[in-house]
Amino acid sequence: MASEVDRTNPTGRPIAELVEELLVAGDPLPIVAAGHPVLRRGAEPYDGQLSPALLARFVEALRTTMHAAPGVGLAAPQVGVPLRIAVIEDPAPVPEEVRVARGRLPQPFRVLVNPSYEALGGERAAFFEGCLSVPGWQAVVARHARVRLRALDEHGTVVDEEFAGWPARIVQHETDHLDGVLYLDRAELRSLATNEAVSARWAQPTPERAAAELGFTLPGS
């Protein structure tokens, strides 16, 4: 029977070796696209596989890569490292009507180590969502409106926080990556559209118009 490490890291190489090799080329790191097996395997829980210095370098590389993409979150598997680490940060430079409709508030830079989430209440919210590993496309995804996040930070400090609105969406999206789940697995596929189409047709704060014209149902409809 294959071990957990064998299934999440089929190369058999030490995680530290993979990370060191990745960092040699410098920032930003190459982002793995959909179709790569690393995005479809549950990542290995972090348990000291990286020295403190190497972990700090890797976290900074993830942050630089997220900014360069640009994105509001990035998980280690997205750069080919099957480890349960993700980073999030959102300056939320959006118009007021979008901020209100989507609950999108600025989020500071955070490192999430071994994160998990649980829904708080039954409310769900649906909006167009994209992914750095599925470039050029967006689709409407219904997600929990409020979640409780449990994780550690890069220093081993316990994180136990509640998130709502867009920050809750980011937490769910990045944690899903660590479970081998892409946003398309949860999306309303009739809403799938190119970035150009979303910008030209569906840039409204909420996706009601897209649902009516593309023929899909939103939560609560």
- Residue-range definition of the domain harbouring residue 116: 4-214
d(CA 83, CA 202): 35
Q: What is the pLDDT of residues 143-201, one digit of tens each?
A: 999 999 999 999 999 999 999 999 999 999 999 999 999 999 999 999 999 999 999 99
Kindly state whether residue 219 falls inside one of the protein's structural domains: no
Among 89, 154, 174, 188, the one annotated catalytic:
174
Helix (H) / strand (E) element for 86: namely strand 85-90
Q: Annotation-wise, does 131 bind a ligand? A: yes
- In this prediction, residues 132-139 reach a mean pLDDT of 98
Sign of the Cα torsion 116, 120, 124, 125 reads: negative
174 labelled catalytic: yes
Kindly state whether residue 220 falls inside one of the protein's structural domains: no
Q: What is the pLDDT of residues 78-96, one digit of tens each?
A: 999 999 999 999 999 999 9
Q: How many domains does the chain have?
A: 1
Kindly state whether residue 221 falls inside one of the protein's structural domains: no
Q: Annotation-wise, does 177 bind a ligand? A: yes
Give residue 11's pLDDT.
Answer: 60
Burial class (CB in 10 A: 0-12, 13-18, 19+), 51: exposed
Q: Annotation-wise, does 173 bind a ligand? A: yes
Kindly state whether residue 120 falls inside one of the protein's structural domains: yes
Count other Cβ atoms within 10 Å, centred on residue 17.
11
Kindly state whether residue 139 falls inside one of the protein's structural domains: yes
pLDDT at residue 50 tops 90: yes
| CATH code for the domain of 126 | 3.90.45.10
Q: What is the pLDDT of residues 62-82, one digit of tens each?
A: 999 999 999 999 999 999 999
| Helical packing angle, 15-24 and 52-68, nearest 10° | 50
